[in-house]
Each structure stands twice: as structure tokens, then as C-alpha cells.
């Protein structure tokens, strides 16, 4: 029986390395994602608000990317605004939000 070696070609190695870098990057939230996730840390059941501290709606792409990463999960639909998704933090979202840069408040 002839043995086959499972060696990656140069192109396959580059693609594998690229995929690993992308996977590692996905585990670190952007500043916007981190701001969104942290809003749920002090809320009952990790509920995430639809608006930031300045009264602006969080970007839908930010919310969707956090869902895609598994950091938040849709919780319920807002009957008053059916196109808004109310989410709550998952365990991994709590971990990610709690491990980001310091949340120290100014004196």
C-alpha cells in the first residue's frame, strides 16, 4: 500500500493561515461592538438596550455581527417596533465584554 502524505500545498497553507487569522480576529470585538456588549453587563438578564448613552440607536450591523459571533442572542421582538431586535448577552458575550479595556469611570 502506498502511503499518501497529507501535506498542504503552498496555496493551501496560505489559505489556512488566513482562515486562522480571521477566526482569531472574530474573537475580539470592535470598539462599537464592545460598547454595545458592555451596555448589557449591568442590566437584568443581560438585556441590551436599543440606544446608546447619547440616545442614538446602535447600528444594525453592530447588533447583527454580535449575534453572528454568538455574543448576544435575540430575546424578543418589540411589538411597537417589529423591525427592532431586542437582544441579551450570552455567556460568551459577558466574557468578551468583561475582558475588554478598562471600564474605569472618570472621577
What the block records as the C-alpha cell of 33 is 461592538
* Sequence-separated (6 or more) residues with CB below 8 Å from residue 102: none
Q: Are strands 72-78 and 81-89 parallel, antiparallel or unpaired?
A: antiparallel
pLDDT for 28 equals: 85
Express each pLDDT in 74-85 by its tens digit.
988 777 777 788
pTM attached to this predicted model: 0.66
Torsion of CA 85, 93, 102, 61, to 10 degrees: -40
Phi/psi for 85 (5° steps) reads -105, 120
Bigger pLDDT: 20 or 81? 81
pLDDT value, residue 102: 44
pLDDT tens digits, 33-51: 999 999 999 999 999 998 9
- First and final C-alpha spacing in the chain: 73
Answer yes or no: are the C-beta atoms of 52 and 39 closer than 8 Å.
yes
Domains and CATH numbers, the chain: 30-98 (1.10.10.10)
All 3 cell numbers of residue 52?
446608546
* For residue 17, pLDDT beyond 70: no
Amino acid at each position: 500500500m502506498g502511503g499518501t502524505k497529507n501535506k498542504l500545498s503552498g496555496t493551501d497553507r496560505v489559505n489556512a493561515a488566513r482562515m486562522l487569522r480571521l477566526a482569531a480576529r472574530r474573537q475580539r470585538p470592535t470598539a462599537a461592538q464592545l460598547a454595545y456588549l458592555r451596555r448589557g453587563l449591568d442590566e437584568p438578564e443581560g438585556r441590551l438596550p436599543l440606544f446608546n448613552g447619547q440616545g442614538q440607536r446602535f447600528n444594525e450591523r453592530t447588533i447583527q455581527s454580535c449575534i453572528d459571533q454568538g455574543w448576544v442572542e435575540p430575546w424578543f421582538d418589540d411589538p411597537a417596533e417589529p423591525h427592532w431586535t431586542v437582544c441579551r448577552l450570552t455567556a460568551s458575550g459577558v466574557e468578551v465584554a468583561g475582558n475588554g479595556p478598562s471600564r474605569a469611570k472618570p472621577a
